[in-house]
Amino acid sequence: MMTVEMVLYLLPMISVGATALLLMLSAAIRRCSIVAFSISLLGLLCAFVLTFFNEIPQARVTDLFVIDNYGIFGMRLILLATFVIVLFAFDYLKTKQEEVEEFYVLLMISCLGALCMVVSNHFMSFFLGLEILTVPLYALIAYFHQRSNGLEAAIKYIVLAGVSAAFLLFGMVLIYAQLGNMRFDILADNWAPMWNSGRLILLLGLSFMMVGVFFKLSAVPFHMWAPDVYEGAPLPITAYLATVSKGAMMVLFLRFYTQLHGDTVFAWQWLLSFIAILSMFIGNWLALLQKNIKRLLAYSSIAHVGYMLVALLSGNDLGASAVIFYLVTYFAATLLAFGALMLLESNQNESVTIEDVRGLFYVKPALSGCLVLAFLSLVGIPLTAGFMGKYWILLAGVSQTKWPLLICLVVSSAIGLYAYLRVGVSLFQDQAPRAEFPKAPCGVLKITLAALVVATLMLGIMPNSITTMIQGAAGSL
């Protein structure tokens, strides 16, 4: 039964959906990129404000969704990140010849899918959200079809995403066949009684589902698409893939794992530990070998998933809040890194390599400052967001005495350090930069970058207010 109250709970999602419709209408009347940009921003802002009217412990909206502090926090995170990406997109699209209004439409629809995922409590909303998130991305990755790698990246993404979605669906079906329900909380109740008789099918279903999940998270060994797609997609979309698309799946997966009491299913834990260790090592190791900064960030994002899985495996409240906090810090640092990259890219040079930024510090100190801060945060140097995130993960791990995982985390981050350091060293070497960077940052992008810098530093120095929010969110899981 749907009541008026329930509709109110869903208002943020409705607002984003309506924005997409409005964008289409306005484009039909008259194409104007500024109008499309403003409508998207307003829609996201509106949705963000609406999340503040939902401060409730827990509300089930039909079987599909559950609105609680955790879901609301996830929504806010997604909305903020999309907001930043729309700002990036505005700067990025300025120089393009193509018609750009549909870019915003697709972005809004994809964002709707992400919102759907973070509050979903049911296989159906899980799958629908995932598809709504993913399908617009196919188009977005190949949006500028003259780009050399755009089409290749999109095809790669379509095929692999399709296959992984099929696996996910099959896994869901197997679990449904055993337990007879698709709601997470009811699944959890049916789990224990059915465990003895149908263990094999349940585990099979679970592992199939994990294929879909890991693909979206780009965890090893389902990570192959990430570097190519990151390189081929337009930069704002790369940022979107690295943050929102990955974050929504992480938020959903954390809910799924906690609801099903994943820490009692040993096979599942072994699988996750294995994947986490592989992701950390292979992500950081391959990052070492990259010359292209976008590919480097792709591999680093693989490693970061590994870190988050370590926190997730540490169970309890501490682990859950560590995952969320790490996600927030990862969002801030990654967006900052991509924002800085936006200024380095030009229509002629779409893949910035480490060689290209050599000596950049002497030409553009502020921009290289942003890049350095982003990388320091991704490495986890104190006083940046990444350090607090890593601290929380280590804290969670130590509290559950997950020593092997933690040692792997430490060793692999030392490897990753070297990968990032190469960019840092290159920035400060005293030759003149090889490529010209004619682009002067527009005001919008400047302010966005400044805000991200502040966020990265604040999360590292004074995280008190967000800490309490996250603990509240994790508590409602």
Partner 1 sequence: MMLIWLIAFPFLGGLLAWFCARFSSKAAHFISLLVLAFSIGAIFLAWQQGESSTSMEDLWMLQWRWMWLPAWGIEIHFGLDGLSFVLLLLTYVMGFIAVMVSKNQISHNIGLFHFCLLWMVSGVAGILLSLDLFLFFIFWEVVLIPLYLMVVMWGHKNRVFATVQFFIFTQASGLLLFLSILALVFVHHAQVGVYTFDYDQLINTSLPYPLAIWILLGFLLAFLVKLPAFPFHVWMPPLFAESMCAPLLVGIMVKTGAYGLLRFVLPLFSSDIHLIAPWMTVLGIVSIVYGAILAFAQNDPFKILAYSTLSHMGLILIGIFSQDKLALSGVAVLLVTQALSTGGLLMLFAHLKTSLPDLDLQKVGGLFKVVPGVTVLSLFFVMASVGLPGLGNFVGEWLVLLGIFSTNTISAAFAASGIVLGAIYSLWLVQRLFYGAYKGGMHTTISDVSAGQKALYGFMVLLLIGIGFFPAPLLDVVSTVWQEKAPDIDEEIL
Point out which residues bind partner 1 (CB under 8 A): 362, 376, 379, 381-383, 387, 391, 394-395, 398-399, 406-407, 410-411, 413-414, 417-418, 421-422, 424-425, 428-430, 463-464, 467-468, 471
Name which of 246 and 390 has its Cβ closer to partner 1: 390
Q: From the CB of residue 156, how many other CB atoms can be counted at a distance below 10 Å?
A: 17
CA 78, CA 114: separation in Å to the nearest integer? 7
Work out the burial of residue 140: count CB atoms within 10 Å of its CB; fewer than 13 is exposed, 13-18 middle, 19 or more buried: buried
CA distances from 345 to 92, 205, 294, 357, 439 (A): 9, 43, 11, 11, 8
Minimum distance between the CB of residue 314 and partner 1, rounded to whole angstroms? 12
Name which of 66 and 396 has its Cβ closer to partner 1: 396
Name which of 53 and 428 has its Cβ closer to partner 1: 428
Minimum distance between the CB of residue 323 and partner 1, rounded to whole angstroms? 16
Minimum distance between the CB of residue 73 and partner 1, rounded to whole angstroms? 16
Name which of 246 and 358 has its Cβ closer to partner 1: 358
H/E element, 324: helix 316-344
Name which of 18 and 383 has its Cβ closer to partner 1: 383
Minimum distance between the CB of residue 464 and partner 1, rounded to whole angstroms? 6
Minimum distance between the CB of residue 319 and partner 1, rounded to whole angstroms? 14
Q: From the CB of residue 202, how many other CB atoms can be counted at a distance below 10 Å?
A: 22
Minimum distance between the CB of residue 454 and partner 1, rounded to whole angstroms? 17
Q: For residue 434, give both structure tokens.
A: 């090889």
CA 258, CA 322: separation in Å to the nearest integer? 14
Name which of 190 and 399 has its Cβ closer to partner 1: 399
Name which of 19 and 321 has its Cβ closer to partner 1: 321
Name which of 56 and 421 has its Cβ closer to partner 1: 421
Work out the burial of residue 5: count CB atoms within 10 Å of its CB; fewer than 13 is exposed, 13-18 middle, 19 or more buried: exposed
CA 389, CA 294: separation in Å to the nearest integer? 23
Residue that has been written with the tokens 């909303």 in this structure: 125
Minimum distance between the CB of residue 410 and partner 1, rounded to whole angstroms? 4
Residue that has been written with the tokens 């997966």 in this structure: 253
> From its phi and psi, is residue 115 left (phi > 0), alpha (psi between -120 and 50) or beta?
alpha
Name which of 171 and 424 has its Cβ closer to partner 1: 424
Q: Name the nearest CA neighbour of 364 among 342, 344, 346.
A: 344
What is the DSSP secondary-structure string of 55-79?
A: --SEEEETTTEEEEHHHHHHHHHHH
Angle between helices 199-217 and 246-259 in degrees, nearest 10 = 160
Minimum distance between the CB of residue 309 and partner 1, rounded to whole angstroms? 18
Q: From the CB of residue 145, how many other CB atoms can be counted at a distance below 10 Å?
A: 9
Name which of 264 and 429 has its Cβ closer to partner 1: 429
Burial per residue of 101-112, b for 16 or more beta-carbon CB atoms within 10 angstroms, e otherwise: bbbbbbbbbbbb
Minimum distance between the CB of residue 351 and partner 1, rounded to whole angstroms? 23
DSSP H helical ranges for 196-289: 199-217, 225-232, 235-240, 246-259, 266-288
CA 235, CA 76: separation in Å to the nearest integer? 22
Minimum distance between the CB of residue 328 and partner 1, rounded to whole angstroms? 15
Name which of 309 and 394 has its Cβ closer to partner 1: 394
What is the DSSP secondary-structure string of 151-209?
A: HHHHHHHHHHHHHHHHHHHHHHHHHHHHHS--BHHHHHHHHHHHHTTSHHHHHHHHHHH
With beta carbons less than 8 A apart as the criterion, state whether 333 and 378 touch. yes
Minimum distance between the CB of residue 421 and partner 1, rounded to whole angstroms? 6
β-pairing, 58-61 with 65-68? antiparallel
Minimum distance between the CB of residue 460 and partner 1, rounded to whole angstroms? 9
Q: From the CB of residue 173, how many other CB atoms can be counted at a distance below 10 Å?
A: 15
